[in-house]
Structure 1
């Protein structure tokens, strides 16, 4: 089933909007990709956790997203998958690597291969999915090597998912803007 991609800047309201889009009264499988690195990240995760209905399922995903999601969908009869978010997934992968591996072809291929697998799986899944990600193109170039590696890799991941999404929304200050498809935009 085609999926929806929701992007926006940090604290733009994209996660809250995606949660509403998934539907508070539906059986939602919430796929969390964030890792607790410090107290601030714990507070961010708690904010998301406290905002979700207790009836939603939770899948805490690691670097492999496709297989755990496929396994969960085979068993539990979920109505919607909400994955929040692709940007913390990419950052977790990079943070678990030594600096010299951040910009290697091997790392890039590893991440893009998993992203392709997930996008292909979601296209064939009978369960609708809402994916959340940060838009990396709204700010300046990061000041650190890790920040630049993250921006570049996430930018590719976002474009990959946006190319196959049925709908893409950019959320700014809590307000969604539906982006046109490439075919409908006049871009060739």
Structure 2
């Protein structure tokens, strides 16, 4: 008897799910179907070491060593792009539980940052590279921090001017 199991990983951003078929007789994973790059191979750890399941390196754990990369440059996306994103609450049409999910619509993100979207070759559905979105959000936070620090300096300067007037 086969049982379908869905593993849901909740991080600050919705990442996605992987499903696998379990053979109840011995408990071993017989088949893996990796969606969104998350590979659950039965060892109790979420990983992306299986090359069949990490096509987009769109996963929780990914190789990030300089020695693995070429053409490295600074990411230009940041606050302006992050402000254009509209987070949504939704349910999957194929999910009988009507469980509410949080995330973004790939079509919306594609119009802002096309590099964050890929096409599932098996069904032509769009997939969002949520892990890559984290780099954009870090840049947005850095930009906001610069604004905060500049505003703080301005406030301190204005306070000094007011104190001189007293």
TM-score (norm 1): 0.23
The structure whose residues are more often strand, as a share, is 2
Q: Which structure's CA Rg is the greater one? A: 2
